[in-house]
Amino acid sequence: MRDDRPLIVGIGNPDRGDDAIGLAVAERLVDDGTVLLSSGDPTNLIAAWEHRNWVIIIDAVRTHQLPGTVTILELLDEPILGGVAHSSHSLGPLEAVQIGAALGTLPERVTLVGIEASSFVVAGDMSEPVRASIDPAIRAVRSLIGQASASSPPAH
């Protein structure tokens, strides 16, 4: 049986500058869904979301926008191509989504909340524009959850 609460996945490496942003945002959303922090291999996500209707993935991205820009993509509505979002992992979250799709284990909705990163330096702190995007990214996630709740049929 699928769980209707969103699985909120924060992906990143706390020791790699702006790559920590996915973790920093997800850590503040523990009251909004089931939060999973992933610092290692994204294939672990394939099992984690197997019985979920909706997963929200929060991760640093490189899309040639200004650092700190928050981008929301419904991945199942997009042509999922490697290169849409890069992270410092051996297999990126998008490959995990693609493998999940191939295995038929993907939730019905997969939302990427991407925060434009600029620096992945070892042991570096998050850059100021990326740190300043934590609150806007949290608001974006809560807005998504609010919209989903508002559009859901009332429980009987």
Contacts with other proteins, residue ranges (CB under 8 A): 13-16, 38-41, 43-44, 46-47, 82, 86, 88-91, 95, 98-99, 102-104, 120-123
Residue 38 near residue 65 (C-beta atoms within 8 A): no
The distance of closest approach from Cβ of residue 147 to other proteins in the complex, given in angstroms and rounded to an integer, is: 30
Tell me how far, at minimum, the Cβ of 135 lies from other proteins, in Å: 27
User: CB of residue 43 vs other proteins: minimum separation in angstroms?
Assistant: 6
Smallest separation (angstroms) from other proteins to the CB of 5: 22
Of the pair 45, 70, the CB lying nearest other proteins is at: 45
Rounded-to-integer distance, Cα 146 and Cα 87, Å: 28
Give the integer Cα–Cα distance in Å for 143 and 28. 14
When the beta carbons of 14 and 146 are compared against other proteins, the nearer one is 14
Which residue's CB is nearer to other proteins, number 90 or number 152? 90
Residue nearer to other proteins on the CB measure, 35 or 145: 35
Alpha carbons 153 and 139: distance in angstroms, whole number: 23
